[in-house]
Structure 1
Amino acid sequence: MQQDRPGHKDHAETDRLAMGRDFQRIRRFSEQLCEPLIIEDYGLQTVPEASPPKWHLAHVTWFYETFLLRPFLPDYPVFHPRFEYLFNSYYEQTCTGFWPRSERGLLSRPSVSEVYDYRHHVDDAMERLIATCPSDAWPKVQMRLGIGLNHEQQHQELLVTDIKRHFAHNPLRPAYRADLPLAPIANPSPLTWTRFDAELMELGAGPEGFAYDNERPRHRVFLEPFAIADRPITNGEYLDFIADGGYRNSAFWLSDGWATIRREGWTCPLYWEGQPDAAPSDWRIMTLGGLRPLNPAEPVCHLSYYEADAFATWAGKRLPTEAEWERAASDRPIAGNFVDAAWLHPRPAEQADGLKQLFGDVWEWTGSAYLPYPGYRAPAGALGEYNGKFMCNQMVLRGGSCATSRDHARLSYRNFFYPHERWQFKGFRLAETIQ
C-alpha cells in the first residue's frame, strides 16, 4: 500500500479548505451582482446572445450539479428533474437536449425565489462534497471544481454585460447602479509605440496552475519584428474615424464587415448616441450608471471585430496577433481596472511611459482566428464541449475587461467571439510589422 509523503495530507487539506473558501466567495459574488436588480429585471432577454440574469444564476448552479454532485456525491437529491433541460447551455452529451438559447427570456417559471432555493440547495451539497470527498476522488473533483469556479466567473462577467444590454434597450435608460464613479472628461494622450525584435517565443499556458484546455499545449511561435501601441484606441480617436466617413467608405472594411454594417445600419459603436458630424461633447454613451457624456480619453469599447479591423486599416496599421499580444504582455503585472474595482466601465489610461491597460478595461481584439494550438485535443466527455467545438469562425480577444474578476485573468487566457458581436466590453490596440 502506498504511503502518503510527509506533509502530503496537510497540503491536500489546505487545498481543500482554500477551494471551499473560493467556492463560497465566488458563489456569493454572483448574488451580490444581482442585488441592484428589481424582480422584473431577472427575466429580461432583449437579444438572443444576452441571457436573463435568472438563467445565469441557475445555469452555473446546474454546472456544479451535473459535473460534480451527481457523479461524486452518491446520496445527492436532484433539486428538480427538468432543470437539466432548462439550464443546460449547449452540452449535447449530458442529456437529451436543452431549452433554446433565444427563448430563455420566455420562462416565467421557475420563479426567482425558486432559482435562489436551487442555488442554496446545491451550495449546501457542494460544501458537503468538498469536506467529505474521498482522497482518491479529490484530484478529479478538484479539477472539475476549478473549471466550475472559473465558469461561474465567466458568467459573472456575462451578468454584467447582459444587464447592460437589456437596460440599454429600455428608452428610460435605467441605471444598474446610479452611484458608479465617473472619470473626468479629458482628451487622449498621443499614442506611443513599443518595439519588439524577431524571436522564437513560447505561447500558451504552462503545465502548472489553472488554465482552460484551449490555452494549451504551450508551443513555439516565431515572431517577426513588430511594434505595438502603448494603449488601446480611445473614444476620441474613434470619433476621428467616424468624422472621416469611416462607416461610409467600403475601402476600410472586410467584405463581411461592410455587409454587416449596411444590413444592421451601424454608424457608431454600440451604446453611443449622437450624429456622425457631432462635436465630441454632443455624444452620449449608455453605461451601467445610465446615459452619460462620452469621454474622449476612455478606451473605445463595444465594437465588433469588423469595426476594429476597419479602424486599423483606416489608420494604416493592423491588429496584433495573439502571439504578439502575449509577448507584449508577458513581462507586465496582471493589474488594471477589473470588476473588483467596481467602476464597471473603462477608464482613461494613466499618464505613464510604456505599455498600459493590457489587462482590464477592455478585451482586446486580435487578428488571430480562434483555432486549436498545435497538439490540442479536446478532453473526453461532455466537458470536452466547453471550448473545442467552438474553434471555427470566431476571433481571439486577450486581456480581460472592467467586468472581469482580477483572479480570473491570466496572460494566456483566450477569449473568443464571433466577429459581428459587440455587447461585451471589447476594444483594441494597434500594431504594425517592422520591415
Structure 2
Amino acid sequence: MTNAEYARFIAEGGYANELWWTSNGWQWRQVEGRTAPRYSHDHDLNRPAQPVVGVSWWEAAAYCTWLTMHGHTHGWLPADQDIRLPTSLEWERAARHTDQRPYPWGWDEPTPEHANYRASGIGRPSPVGCFPTGAAVCGAQDMVGNVLEWLATPTHPRDQIDATSTFTRHAGVVLAPSTYWNGPSALWCGTRNGDTPGSRYHDQGFRVVQSLRSSI
C-alpha cells in the first residue's frame, strides 16, 4: 500500500476509532500514542506513490479492517468478502505462480531492471510499479526488493494455512521477503523475515488481499 492510500485511513480517523483495531493493537496505539506512520515527515520516505513504511503489524491490520468497511459501504467490495493481510502461503503462491519459479519474473538472475535492491543504487523505497519487468504472473509488482511486507502468519509455525487475525505484543510475525538494501540472494521468493508486531522500521510495509470471508 502507498502513502497516498494510507493517508485516507488517517484522514478518516483511522487512529481515533477503536472499531478498526484488534484489542492488542488498540492498547498498543494508546500506550505508544501513535497517530501516523513513523516516517510520515521524512521526505525520503513519505512521497505519495512510495510504499507506506514505518507501520506496525497492528496498523496494517487496522487499515485492512477500515478498507473492508469502506468497500462494503461504497459498494466496490462484495458483502461476503474482506480485505486483509495475506498469509505466507498466499504471498508465495502469488509470487511463484504454479511453476515454483524462484523469482516473480521467472528463473533469470536478478538485475536492476527487475527490482529495487542494493545493485539498483536507489537507496530508499521506490514508487510502486517502477519495475514492471519484475512483476509476477498475477500482475503483482515489487514483490521482492523495495520493502518488507507484513503477513498474517506467525513465525512458528510458519506453514500455518489460516490467516492470523491478531498477535500479542511479543509474538513473532512473518515478513516477506526483502528490501531495497538487500543483496540479490534475498530476492528469492522463499526468503522470510520475522519481527514483533509493534516493529515500525523504515523498510517495513504491507500489501493486502481480497478474500471470501471465513465461515468459521
Q: TM-score, normalised by structure 1?
A: 0.37
Note the alpha carbon deviations across 1:350-370, whole angstroms, 9 max, x for none: 375821010111101111111
Deviation at 1:262? 1.0
- Which residue is equivalent to 2:165? none
Mapping for residues 8-407 of structure 1, pairs under 5 Å: 233-273=1-41, 285=42, 287=44, 294-316=46-68, 317-331=83-97, 332-333=104-105, 335-350=114-129, 354-372=139-157, 393-407=171-185
Runs of 5+ consecutive residues of structure 2 not aligned to the other structure: 69-82, 98-103, 160-169
Note the alpha carbon deviations across 1:82-138, whole angstroms, 9 max, x for none: xxxxxxxxxxxxxxxxxxxxxxxxxxxxxxxxxxxxxxxxxxxxxxxxxxxxxxxxx
Cα distance in 2 for partners of 1:286, 1:415 equals: 26
Note the alpha carbon deviations across 1:363-383, whole angstroms, 9 max, x for none: 011111111457xxxxxxxxx
Deviation at 1:286? 5.2
Cα distance in 2 for partners of 1:350, 1:319 equals: 20
Relative contact order higher in (CA < 8 Å, ≥ 6 apart): 2
- Which residue is equivalent to 1:421? 199
Note the alpha carbon deviations across 1:383-405, whole angstroms, 9 max, x for none: xxxxxxxxx71110112111211
Given residue 122 of structure 2, which amino acid in structure 1 is its aligned partner?
A: W
Secondary structure, counterpart of 1:364 in structure 2? strand
Cα distance in 2 for partners of 1:318, 1:357 equals: 18
Deviation at 1:349? 2.2
- Contact 2:2/2:128 (<8 A) preserved: no
Cα distance in 2 for partners of 1:349, 1:414 equals: 21
Secondary structure, counterpart of 1:396 in structure 2? strand
- Which residue is equivalent to 1:37? none
Note the alpha carbon deviations across 1:238-277, whole angstroms, 9 max, x for none: 110100000001111111111111111111111223xxxx
Cα distance in 2 for partners of 1:267, 1:369 equals: 26
Cα distance in 2 for partners of 1:265, 1:371 equals: 29
- The percentage of counterpart residues that share the same residue type is 34
Cα distance in 1 for partners of 2:120, 2:63 equals: 30
Cα distance in 2 for partners of 1:424, 1:418 equals: 15
Secondary structure, counterpart of 2:16 in structure 1? coil
Cα distance in 1 for partners of 2:191, 2:177 equals: 7
- Larger % of helix: which? 1
Cα distance in 1 for partners of 2:8, 2:158 equals: 37
Secondary structure, counterpart of 2:65 in structure 1? helix
CA RMSD for the aligned pairs? 2.0
Given residue 51 of structure 2, which amino acid in structure 1 is its aligned partner?
A: P
Given residue 175 of structure 2, which amino acid in structure 1 is its aligned partner?
A: L
Deviation at 1:321? 0.4
| Count of aligned residue pairs for this structure pair | 170
Note the alpha carbon deviations across 1:196-244, whole angstroms, 9 max, x for none: xxxxxxxxxxxxxxxxxxxxxxxxxxxxxxxxxxxxx100001101000
- Contact 2:39/2:53 (<8 A) preserved: no
Given residue 237 of structure 1, which amino acid in structure 2 is its aligned partner?
A: E
Deviation at 1:304? 0.6
Deviation at 1:410? 1.4
Runs of 5+ consecutive residues of structure 1 not aligned to the other structure: 1-232, 274-284, 375-391
Given residue 420 of structure 1, which amino acid in structure 2 is its aligned partner?
A: G
Cα distance in 2 for partners of 1:373, 1:341 equals: 30
Cα distance in 2 for partners of 1:401, 1:251 equals: 32
Cα distance in 1 for partners of 2:146, 2:29 equals: 25
- Contact 2:2/2:52 (<8 A) preserved: yes
